Amino acid sequence: MQSSTLPQKKLFGHPSGLFVLFFTEMWERFSFYGMRAILVLYLTAQSTGDNPGLAWTKKEALALYGWYGMFVYFMGIFGGYIADKYLGQKKSVLVGGVFIIAGQFALTIDNISAFYSGLVLLVCGVGLLKPNISTMVGGLYKKGDIKRDSGFIIFYIGINIGALLAPLLVGYIGEKIDWHLGFSLAGFGMILGQIVYVFGRKHLRGVGELLKNSATEAHLADKPLTKEEKDRVVVLLLSFLVVIVFWAAYEQAGGLMSLYTRDSVDRFVFGWEIPTTFFQSLHALYVVLIGAPMAWLWMRWSKSGRESSSIFKMAIGQIIMAISFVALMVSVYEISLSAIGKSPVHWLLLSYFLHVVAELSISPVALSFITKLAPVKYASLMMGAYFAITGFGNKLAGILGEAAQGAGEMTIFALIAGMCLVTGLLLLTLVKKLKKLAHGAEDNIE
């Protein structure tokens, strides 16, 4: 994606608007993950006592959680469509933020209709905000700017700072003090995000505007896609297939891997037993720790003139993901050697680490890739489709996790390793072909 009036002001070598989007999305994610951290706990908490919940069964609560998780990302398609057609990305983010604030505060009202309305508002709000703010990051960079990928990694670090802090703060306040106070804290997070966005808008001039207004775009809107544009969409859709497998593997963390950690891993370190939930923060923690070094490494790699296309990075990421599941297979194998029938914890720590190395090679890269390849008039819609795909990957993760209850962990870990390896190798062999189909959309100019 390209914009004619790109803002020029730079901060740490990146457009200053990046940091406005960074903090807005950091607070949005704080709000999102904070609410998510207490949702199931609130639903299943007893309806009497000091901090009453809704006394749902675990099954009911997990079902709602699953639907919410899927819809919140599926809605990205509509969020993208509305941005392309009616609002532009910039306004969609603003409206999305208002929906999210309204949704979080609806959850603070002790009434079931307010609760459901809150969830619907959140699904619409995130659907409007999340894909569009991501597309706007791409809009900050000119075509061929090699800084674009590292810009997305910086943005991704912001996401994960929010994701890391939220369960600690919102989780603590919600669980120990009052659920509704927890939901309001999540709401205040989004208010801060909105303040950053509104006051930082001057750094986003010319980014995320509705295309219809300018003369060139009016002309663009009537024209069917060219062959080049169609080819690029094919490349994107192919990369989405790989992305489904990636998220299906990655999202084992909250399900199967969490149960495995609880039941089959020796979590004692120097006499202290690491709580199972602690492992849930590992992804975000690792991203914050290794995000910057990884961005730097990829940057050096590409400056040295080696193959550094997004497709290549995604293929490498997928292969690393396969290795992370091999580490888990070794972990399962070690249970049979252990006197206490548990696996040592280091395999799990290694596996989570490799997850994040893979994530940083795939997820921010895919976001960046979409902004390079999507036809301008469908830019937001393609981004929305990516988020919908993520929702689908999440659902597949649940299906695989369930299958492990019958087939056993070793089989499912092996299956996931195999799926990642095959798709990774396939992508690697297709790098040249897909680059050709991308018709230079990825060429670096600097």
- Binding residues for ligand PHE, per CB under 6 A? 29, 73, 159, 163, 363, 387, 390
Q: What are phi and psi of 43, to 5 degrees?
A: -60, -40
Residue 390 Cα distances to 169, 293, 339, 397, 424, angstroms? 26, 26, 40, 10, 17
Q: How far is the CB of 192 from ligand PHE (least distance, A)?
A: 17
Q: What are phi and psi of 279, to 5 degrees?
A: -65, -20
Nearest residue to the partner ligand PHE, using Cβ? 390
| Strand runs labelled E in 194-320 | 265-266, 268-269, 272-273
Q: Which is nearer to ligand PHE, 53 or 125 (CB)?
A: 125
Structure tokens at 84: 């392309």
Q: Which is nearer to ligand PHE, 378 or 387 (CB)?
A: 387
Q: Which is nearer to ligand PHE, 383 or 404 (CB)?
A: 383
* Residue 177: DSSP 8-state: I
Using alpha carbons only, what angle is made at residue 257 by residues 252 and 259, rounded to the nearest 5 degrees? 125
Residue 433 Cα distances to 126, 311, 335, 370, 382, angstroms? 35, 10, 44, 18, 21
Q: Which is nearer to ligand PHE, 81 or 387 (CB)?
A: 387
Q: Which is nearer to ligand PHE, 225 or 292 (CB)?
A: 292
Q: How far is the CB of 393 from ligand PHE (least distance, A)?
A: 9
Q: How far is the CB of 382 from ligand PHE (least distance, A)?
A: 14
Q: How far is the CB of 281 from ligand PHE (least distance, A)?
A: 12
- CA 217, 223, 225, 227 torsion: positive or negative? negative
Q: How far is the CB of 163 from ligand PHE (least distance, A)?
A: 6
Q: Which is nearer to ligand PHE, 139 or 162 (CB)?
A: 162
Structure-token match 């689908």, residue found? 392
| CA–CA separation, 277 and 259 (whole Å) | 10
| CA–CA separation, 297 and 384 (whole Å) | 29
Q: Which is nearer to ligand PHE, 53 or 254 (CB)?
A: 254
* Residue 271: DSSP 8-state: T
| CA–CA separation, 374 and 260 (whole Å) | 40
| Strand runs labelled E in 190-275 | 265-266, 268-269, 272-273
Structure tokens at 268: 């004692």
Q: How far is the CB of 159 from ligand PHE (least distance, A)?
A: 5
Q: How far is the CB of 394 from ligand PHE (least distance, A)?
A: 9
Q: Which is nearer to ligand PHE, 163 or 327 (CB)?
A: 163
Q: How far is the CB of 71 from ligand PHE (least distance, A)?
A: 13
